[in-house]
Amino acid sequence: MKTKVFKTLVRVAWVETDAAHVVHFSNYFRYFERVEEEFYRHLGFNFSSAASRGLWFPRVETLCQYRRPARFNDLLEVELIVEEVREKSVKYGFRIFSEGSATLLAEGYMILVAASVQTGKATGIPKDFVEKLKPYSKQFL
Amino acid sequence: MKTKVFKTLVRVAWVETDAAHVVHFSNYFRYFERVEEEFYRHLGFNFSSAASRGLWFPRVETLCQYRRPARFNDLLEVELIVEEVREKSVKYGFRIFSEGSATLLAEGYMILVAASVQTGKATGIPKDFVEKLKPYSKQFL
Amino acid sequence: MKTKVFKTLVRVAWVETDAAHVVHFSNYFRYFERVEEEFYRHLGFNFSSAASRGLWFPRVETLCQYRRPARFNDLLEVELIVEEVREKSVKYGFRIFSEGSATLLAEGYMILVAASVQTGKATGIPKDFVEKLKPYSKQFL
Amino acid sequence: MKTKVFKTLVRVAWVETDAAHVVHFSNYFRYFERVEEEFYRHLGFNFSSAASRGLWFPRVETLCQYRRPARFNDLLEVELIVEEVREKSVKYGFRIFSEGSATLLAEGYMILVAASVQTGKATGIPKDFVEKLKPYSKQFL
């Protein structure tokens, strides 16, 4: 079975550039989160309902490797795959391309845990969420 | 009695610049808020204790006029005065100078209301807060 | 002749919210700029070609009035009209609605001047740009 | 010889928080850059003079691990060490503590290359810069 990739388009805004005329490196993490948010909307996964069950999803680690700079007005294709689903954590992989080209601009990952709002402790990822992630998952542990 | 001015220094960060090699115009509002936050710390005014009394302070209007651009590494002097205190609202005035010079880079204002977290409705500004604002106030209505 | 309104949709990202669970007030200015950027793309107006003619468009004044808070995941309709075109400056007006409703969340304006990159001085707005703005203009002076 | 650590203090601003009442994960990278900028000022290293020699320092990789959340008004101690200096690249290590405590909030690293503005290609790090980094370096290759 082939792993599904989820994609969204992001247009580079002026405010995201810096005085080197390129997108500031910290903003790639915001692009990662942008596709993650679109992904949840696509899955019909509801943060508010998770919060009402006392859950939130803090990040524990994130990395980005920069290949080529993105610039103002560029249209970016941001890809997400589910690298790994564990009992209490999820790892997403990201790649950013110049739209309509095979030129990789940046890639990286992000690891999230499910945590109790009450205690702050890591907890099991909700089963319904895990089910929704499956088609996009490379590896299931 | 002379009106007191509250000042803080802000160093321009790289991420605050844009591809025009100047500070992005939206960041001046963040500098305004930075001096406001320093001001509350200086007054010993405690947001958490306000929140525990069910209050918050949404902005209702803000304006900035830009005179000369600020650039990376510039040290800015950000000034706050209390323009006006009303029953339910406060108006702060701001001016941003190049540190150690009389060159005005930007100026503006911000109007806040006290509001109930519960109902969302505007409410009276706490008396203890009004007392603390007095020495910095141009006008008392 | 009726004034045309230019619109774009903006989805509120998590990073744009603050600890009051609402969009940070400074981000509305970034939404203003987002629709402005879309507007230029729609008009076929090219910043790079303006820059190559030695022009840039610094902001000289901007204001926002906040009516109701926007929150994470909200879909916003951001409207731009050309309030006024002068020899060396343009004033845009903005309104932000909750998508598909008549609920006004915020409104404001922004004044830009055309300036020479070389001298920093205000200069005439390019004729071809003025022509493109006309259908969206309330007032021509 | 003991490796020197360079430190700076950062006060968490309201705008840096998100609707989870904690600092947004992307802002830790901006804190990393903040201490890096202070470090250069401390070293007397001048970006403008580097730029005038046709050099810039794009990031090629950065990572952050999040241990405990930082919140509004927290005073953070941000530490930088020089992990590694290579011919064309530098790796900085970062740790963020709650000020006056031994509680680690986050840690990470950033790898930069020296590059020619003209060609975009990696190039040797200037000798005078390498000399300045030495006292803060764990490893010299």
C27-42 pLDDT per residue, tens: 999 999 999 999 999 9
Q: pLDDT value at position D54? A: 86
User: What residue ranges in B16-135 does DSSP mark as E strands?
Assistant: 55-56, 59-66, 75-85, 89-98, 104-113, 115-116
**pLDDT for residue A33 is more than 90:** yes
Please give the mean pLDDT across all residues of chain C: 92
- β-pairing verdict for A55-56 and C59-66: unpaired
Percent of chain B residues topping a pLDDT of 70: 95
Q: pLDDT value at position A50? A: 78
* Cα distance from N-terminal residue to C-terminal residue, chain C: 16
CATH assignment at residue C106: 3.10.129.10
**pLDDT for residue B138 is more than 80:** no
**pLDDT for residue B141 is more than 90:** no
Contact between residue D108 and residue D62 where contact means Cβ atoms under 8 Å apart? yes
**Which of B16, B128, B121 has the alpha carbon at shortest distance from B58?**
B121
Q: Residue A60 is inside which H or E element, if any?
A: strand A59-66
Note whether C63 contacts B59, CB cutoff 8 Å. no
Interface of A with B in 72-91 (CB under 8 A): 72
Residue A42 corresponds to which tokens in the numbers above?
């696509």
Q: What average pLDDT does the segment B116-141 reach?
A: 85
Note whether A61 contacts D65, CB cutoff 8 Å. yes
User: What residue ranges in C3-141 does DSSP mark as E strands?
Assistant: 6-11, 55-56, 59-66, 75-85, 89-98, 104-113, 115-116
Note whether D26 contacts A27, CB cutoff 8 Å. yes
Residue D121 corresponds to which tokens in the numbers above?
């290609």
Q: What average pLDDT does the segment D21-40 reach?
A: 97
Number of domains present in the structure of chain A: 1
**pLDDT for residue C1 is more than 90:** no
Q: pLDDT value at position B1? A: 54
Q: pLDDT value at position C64? A: 98
Residue A86 corresponds to which tokens in the numbers above?
């564990």
**Which of A101, A134, A128 has the alpha carbon at shortest distance from A45?**
A128
**Which of C74, C68, C90, C105 has the alpha carbon at shortest distance from C140?**
C90
The greatest distance separating any two alpha carbons of chain C, rounded to the nearest whole angstrom, comes to: 46
Q: pLDDT value at position A34? A: 97
**pLDDT for residue C3 is more than 90:** no
Supply the DSSP symbol for D26. Answer: T
Best A18, A30, A72, A74 member to test B by mutation, with max B CBs in 10 Å, is A18
Within-domain flag for D115: yes
Within-domain flag for D1: no
pLDDT in tens, A69-109: 999 999 999 999 999 999 999 999 999 999 989 899 999 99
Residue B115 corresponds to which tokens in the numbers above?
């509001």
pTM over 0.90? The answer is yes
**Which of C57, C131, C125 has the alpha carbon at shortest distance from C88?**
C125
Within-domain flag for A92: yes
Interatomic CA distance for residues A94 and D2, integer angstroms = 39
Within-domain flag for C103: yes
Best C31, C63, C68, C110 member to test B by mutation, with max B CBs in 10 Å, is C63
Chain B nearest C-alpha distance from A43 (Å): 32
Contact between residue C73 and residue A39 where contact means Cβ atoms under 8 Å apart? no
Question: What separation in angstroms does the CA of C41 have from each of A75, A138, B133?
Answer: 12, 38, 47
**pLDDT for residue D18 is more than 90:** yes
Q: pLDDT value at position B140? A: 53
Within-domain flag for B1: no
Interatomic CA distance for residues B8 and B36, integer angstroms = 9
- For residue D96, the enclosing domain spans 6-140
Note whether A15 contacts B18, CB cutoff 8 Å. yes
Contact between residue D115 and residue D58 where contact means Cβ atoms under 8 Å apart? yes
pLDDT in tens, C42-53: 999 876 777 778
**Which residue do the tokens 């040797």 mark?**
D124
Please report, as a single letter, which amino acid is at residue A73.
N
pLDDT in tens, B24-60: 999 999 999 999 999 999 999 876 777 778 888 999 9
Within-domain flag for B89: yes
**pLDDT for residue A54 is more than 90:** no
Contact of C15 with chain A, judged by CB distance below 8 Å, is answered with yes
CA B79 to chain centre: 8
Of A29, A56, A66, the CB nearest to D25: A29
pLDDT in tens, C85-129: 999 999 999 999 999 898 999 999 999 999 998 888 999 999 989
- How many residues comprise chain A? 141
Within-domain flag for A134: yes
Within-domain flag for D129: yes
Pick the residue from chain C with its C-alpha nearest to A30.
C15
